[in-house]
Amino acid sequence: MSAVFATGFGRRRVEVAVPAEEAPAPVAAAPAPAAKQTAASPIIELRAQCLAQLDPAIVSSMSAERLTTEVERVLAEIATERRLQLNGREQRQLANELVHDMLGLGPLEPLLEDDSITDIMVNGPERVFVERGGKVVLSAAKFRDAGHAMNVCQRIAASVGRRIDESSPMVDARLKDGSRVNIVFPPLALDGPYVSIRKFSRRQIDFAKLISYGSLTAPVARILEIAGRARLNIIISGGTGSGKTTMMNALSRLIDHGERIVTVEDRPNCSCSSPTWCGSRRGRPASKGAARSPSAT
């Protein structure tokens, strides 16, 4: 309390008591944030332990179905031992991912099995686009990281006897089903490896199907049929994805099986049904002083 003298009526000093201002209470310091733990994800540890228990020699000789069953059993044992909460759906999903990594192309494997997808485009490990019905959309498929995507790309290149790395950052290859693959590695690719897969159609398309699809009219099909059976020269031209290979394969069905068919291509696309068909690749130009080597694409 403090006293203040004020002048009142008759100039008499009046003492007025004024309460003293209370000092602000000290503010407690905020507790320091706890340090974040950098422990690895249990799923990552589970995946690593499962791979460590599998014998590569035995895995390579097993079918995908049998390997999936074995991986699910190993995952269940490890999850029980480590007391990890893993339901049946998550267990099957993780087992399928591991099998695709060991025997296939990782997260791209389900996209390759989908017949409605015609193109697969990988723009880095987290952006995988697909073309379905003529429209490009972002898929849910993702790689774990750039290293995972690079391992899949190197597996594709090794399957055709090629290598891909920073010194050789571009590769053209083909998958077992005939799908065409183009891979670009850093430093040419800025956001990780780029992959383009043009899927090979498993359906055999002839003129009757082209007419039913509306891609060809009956009169034009009849003209092409006459030209093919008469052994006339035919030039097929068009842009990417316009159906050049489909048209050529349909025309090849009109050639008599008594005729021998030889094809020479930069990138093999033909799928001739004739038993006398001989497919070949155009050789790569050889360097100076070296023998001409065949193309591996």
pLDDT of residue 243: 81
Query: What average pLDDT does range 227-251 have in this prediction?
Result: 84
Of 94-108, 160-174, 260-274, minimum mean pLDDT range: 260-274
Confidence of residue 33 (pLDDT cuts 50, 70, 90): very low
The three-state secondary structure class of 266 is coil
Q: How confident is the model at residue 297 (pLDDT cuts 50, 70, 90)?
A: very low
Task: Pinpoint the residues of the chain covered by CATH 3.40.50.300.
Answer: 207-281
Tell me the CA distances in angstroms from 233 to 215, 216, 226, 229, one per residue in order: 22, 20, 12, 11
Helix segments in 8-117, DSSP class H: 42-53, 56-60, 64-82, 88-103, 109-113
Long-range contacts from 196-202, C-beta under 8 angstroms, 24+ separation: 196/119, 196/120, 196/121, 196/122, 197/108, 197/112, 197/119, 197/120, 197/121, 198/118, 198/119, 199/112, 199/117, 199/118, 199/119, 199/120, 200/175, 200/269, 200/271, 201/118, 201/246, 202/115, 202/177
DSSP state of 106: G
Distance CA 215, CA 134 (A): 14
CATH architecture of the domain with range 107-198? 2-Layer Sandwich (3.30)
pLDDT, position 219:
93
Indicate where the chain has its CATH 3.30.450.370 domain(s): 107-198
Q: What is the reported pLDDT for 20? A: 52
Could you tell me the pLDDT band of residue 217, with boundaries at 50, 70 and 90? very high
**pLDDT of 215 higher than 90:** no
- What is the C-alpha to C-alpha distance for residues 131 and 116, in angstroms, rounded to an integer? 9
Q: How confident is the model at residue 207 (pLDDT cuts 50, 70, 90)?
A: confident
Class of domain 207-281: alpha beta
> Taking the complete model, does pTM exceed 0.85, yes or no?
no
Question: What is the dihedral sign for C-alpha 135, 138, 144, 150?
Answer: positive
Cα–Cα dist 88/75, whole Å: 11
Average of pLDDT values for 83-103? 80
Which residue did the predictor score with more confidence, 18 or 89?
A: 89
Average per-residue pLDDT in the chain? 77
The mean-pLDDT minimum among 141-155, 164-178, 213-227, 240-254 falls in 240-254
Q: What is the pLDDT of residue 197?
A: 92
Radius of gyration of the chain from its Cα atoms, rounded to whole angstroms: 35
Tokens found for residue 194: 């780029």
Please tell me the predicted confidence (pLDDT) of residue 34.
Answer: 41
Beta bridge partners of 119: 131, 198
Provide mean pLDDT across the span 268-296. 64
